Amino acid sequence: MKSNIVVPALGESVMEARIAHWLKKEGDKIEVGDAVVELETEKVNVDVTAEIAGVLTKIMAHEEDTVHIGDAMGEIDGQATNGDERKVKGEETAQRQEVEANEAVEEHDKMRKYEGHKQEVEDQGSTTRASERATPVAKKVAEETGLKLSEVLGSGTGGRVTKHDVESFLESKKTEGTEREIETRKQAAGEGGNGKREIVRASHKPTIAEKGGHEERAKLSLRRKTIARRMLEAQQTTAMLTTFNEIDMSHAMEIRKKYKEQFKKKYGIGLGIVSFFVKASIAALKEFPRLNAEIDGDEIVYKHYYDIGIAIGAEEGLVVPVLRNADAMSFAEIEAGIKSFADRSQSGTLTLEDLRGGTFTITNGGVFGSLMSTPILNPPQVGILGLHKIAERPVAENGQIVVKPMMYVALTYDHRIVDGRESVQFLVKVRELVEDPAAMLLE
């Protein structure tokens, strides 16, 4: 019995994917539930698992190919055995591998003439293993720059090589090359020798093209293309306006300082700032329900549930996983949910269900040091709250100048259904609750 490996349903509005990496090769024995191929979608990377046990007899779509829901990517023969199938496919596989190796060598020679086929063959094993533990973006950058991933030490989960690791390695190599060039020039000029100097003629200054250039090209990931498309759509299809306020974070920070050890001991999680704003935002949304609504044609859809999106800056682009029914969650549950999202965004294990829906979004640019910004809506939502860096600033209080930890907050809203009065009052409500956290117990 043979079964095709097909592109599964990928979630709400996701119609296509790109093959990021085959986790098995032709001739490999497959068990039910084994991850066979990794797909890159516009939201997350998805592992496609085997539905039957057998042998992977054919790969129909290859890495970097774009596939659609229902497309056949490969074939599993449930009646073949690993040994038999390898024997039958041995000659064909060897021929194909030889062709692929020759093509790789030719391309490699064009880009890096100083590297030979012999070195490539010797390094093939370690490079393959390194490739398996690298993120899709890291692999693309390595391929485009001719870098062997086996040379790069990974800093991600389980030693996974990230884009940052590859870029840091390339930068260190560039620095080493520059230092060697300076030393060579010094020696040629007679510095540090017997005091004699040779005349060094000014040589032709190589152009950027001759030096290999300081430019590089990388294919946009599906996620980055989707982010770009959605940002443009938000600008073009909504009437975005942003209003600002500032919040005295003294009381919230005092509570964190007073209870952080007790909180962590009891719940196993730290008490952060975002959970205060999740609680305050939900209370404000209940008072100003249009900010928790959406436009559908000529109707306003009011949502009497509170699924709060938490924007997280992942390596391959911004993701917004959703805290479901956040109004029923405790501070500890909110903090645990946010930490889980952050950890899984870094390891690439967020699911499409994690990202589905959402009625209102909170984004915290303060973790990157942002003092003020204007967040962009995440349609069809009509409101997004931007948090920023907490900074000590002089403020007037009871006729005196005092220094307090202050935060600027920004609310971007769709002016088609939310008025300026509502948006300002919403932020005032959030400010009042965060400045007096005990008041949230009454909400």
Largest CA distance in the chain: 89
Q: From the centroid of its chain, how far is CA 55?
A: 33
Give the closest residue to 280 by CA, choosing from 367, 380, 407.
407
Give the closest residue to 249 by CA, choosing from 440, 403, 442.
403
Question: Strand, helix or coil at 244?
Answer: strand
Contact 56, 4 (CB under 8 A): no
Distance CA 127, CA 143 (A): 11
DSSP string, 265-321: HHHSS---SHHHHHHHHHHHHHHSGGGGEEEETTEEEE--S--EEE-EEETTEEE--
> 28 catalytic, yes or no?
no
Please, what is the angle between helix 420-435 and helix 250-267, to 10°? 60
Question: Strand, helix or coil at 130?
Answer: helix
Q: Which amino acid is residue 17, in one-letter code?
A: A
Give the closest residue to 74 by CA, choosing from 35, 42, 104.
35
Give the closest residue to 70 by CA, choosing from 15, 121, 109.
15
**CB neighbour burial string for 344-370, b if at least 16 within 10 angstroms, e if fewer:** bbbebebeeebbeebbbbbbbbbbeee
> 304 catalytic, yes or no?
no
The arrangement of strands across the sheet holding 72-77 comes to: 2-6, 72-77, 54-59, 29-30
Select which of 65, 84, 343, 419 is catalytic. 419
Q: From the centroid of its chain, how far is CA 37?
A: 20
Distance CA 251, CA 280 (A): 14
Catalytic residue set: 415, 419
